[in-house]
Structures are given as structure tokens and as C-alpha cells.
Amino acid sequence: MSLLAVRDLAVARGGLRAVEGVSFNLEAGGALVLRGPNGVGKTTLLRTLAGLQPLVAGVIEAAPDAIAYAGHSDGLKPALTAAENLRFWSEIFGGHDIAGALEAMNLRDLAERPAHALSAGQKRRLGLARLMVTGRPVWLLDEPTVSLDRDSVALFAGMLRAHLGRGGAAVIATHIELGLPEAEILELGPYRATRTRRESRPAGFNEVFG
């Protein structure tokens, strides 16, 4: 079943065309990794897929309410505790349980701490845990591992794999290998997009993500 289908998409930022010729079909369990140099248009593409800005050309087809977007900002309410932040988002997205989200990103011991008193990596973990309570199948992730230490990257990779295993899907802009051997890679260059290869496991990979 297709969760997100994109045909010949062109996107722009600040009035300038970023990338064009983007086509892919994401099914349940599918992951697409966006690669490309700084400024090429990965964020612009994700923002367009999330409906945060209009497309220039092409077609985006997604089921209604299928998409959850995690951008550069963690989107936290600083005065609310970690648990209250998750409850806030859960109520907006339909009342999903927050316990699994706290567990998935190792936040149980920080549940009662206000978000403003979390470290950068802890805030990022909370921002990513938010995805779990949305209950949405398609995760659009913009550099999700920024500020995460090695163990937290592994936690997040596990959470993402579990999401895919449950029939979810993800589009991920990342400069690091996330340990998703089944992921397709979309290399973005100026004004073009090229499907190249699947993500491979580098030597020694299992030490971090196994």
C-alpha cells in the first residue's frame, strides 16, 4: 500500500528553485534517505512534503493525516515537563499513550523535568519521542540525530526500525548512516534528484546499531 507517492516534484525556497525531478513511492515499511550537500534543498523538500510550503510543480499524494514532521526545531513547550509536552501532543493527535514514547527515547527519568531544563540532546530525544504519540504512519525527519550521543543515535535507530516494522514509513535527511539497509537513497544535486543505492552497513556498524 502506498503511503506517500511523489511524481516529478519541483520545490523552491526564497523564490529560487531548489531541486526538481523528484519521484518516489513509499510503501508501508519503506524508508527513503535524502542525501546531498548543505543548501541543496533537503529541508525545502521535506517542508514541501509536510505541506508547510507550496510545491512548484509535480504531484504529492498522501493519505489524509498520514504525515508527522520533525524539523530542526524540537517544537517543545519550555514551561511544560517532558511528560506534559508528550501529553499535549498526544491530545492534539488523538490520545495515544505517552509511556511507550518515554520508554523508546529513554526519557522516563526525565519525565517530570521542564523542557527548558533539558540538555540539547535530551530536548532532541523528547522532540523525536513526540513522533510516537502522533500515531501517524509517515515520518518526515530533518537531521534527526543532531545533538544525539552515540547511544541515543542507536535508540533512535531502534525506534525508527520499530516504526517501519509496524507498517510505518519515513523520509529522512541525514548525513550519517542510520542502519537501515533496506532504505533507498535519493541523492540530491542542484536541480536534480537521482536514486542511487540502498543504505549499506559500514564496517563495525553492529557495534553501534546492532
Ligand X SMILES: Nc1ncnc2c1ncn2[C@@H]1O[C@H](COP(=O)(O)OP(=O)(O)OP(=O)(O)O)[C@@H](O)[C@H]1O
Q: Is 44 in the site for ligand X (CB under 6 A)?
A: yes
Q: DSSP E strands: which ranges in the chain?
A: 2-10, 12-13, 16-17, 22-27, 31-35, 57-62, 67-70, 138-142, 169-173, 184-189, 192-198
Stretch that binds ligand X, among 13-21, 22-30, 123-131, 191-199 (CB under 6 A): 13-21
Q: Is 10 in the site for ligand X (CB under 6 A)?
A: no
Burial of 207 (0-12, 13-18, 19+ CB in 10 A): exposed
Q: Is 123 in the site for ligand X (CB under 6 A)?
A: no
Q: Locate 201 and state its grid cell.
A: 552497513
Q: Is 43 in the site for ligand X (CB under 6 A)?
A: yes
Q: Is 39 in the site for ligand X (CB under 6 A)?
A: yes
Number of shown-chain residues binding ligand X (CB under 6 A): 11
Are the CB atoms for 141 and 173 separated by under 8 Å? yes
Spatial strand order of the sheet with 2-10 comes to 22-27, 2-10, 57-62
Four-point Cα dihedral 78, 80, 84, 85, nearest 10: -20
Stretch that binds ligand X, among 39-47, 73-81, 94-102, 146-154 (CB under 6 A): 39-47
Rounded least distance, CB 120 to ligand X, Å: 17
Stretch that binds ligand X, among 36-44, 116-124, 162-170, 198-206 (CB under 6 A): 36-44
Please pick, from the candidates 13, 17, 87, 96, the single residue that binds ligand X as defined by CB under 6 A. 13
Residue with the CB atom nearest ligand X in the bound state:
14
In the range 162-181, which residues lie near ligand X by CB under 6 A? none
Helix/strand/coil for 61? strand
Stretch that binds ligand X, among 32-40, 60-68, 80-88, 146-154 (CB under 6 A): 32-40
Rounded least distance, CB 99 to ligand X, Å: 33
Residue at grid coordinates 540538555: 119
114 membership: H or E segment, kind and range: none
Write out the residues near ligand X by the rule CB under 6 A.
13-14, 18, 36, 38-44
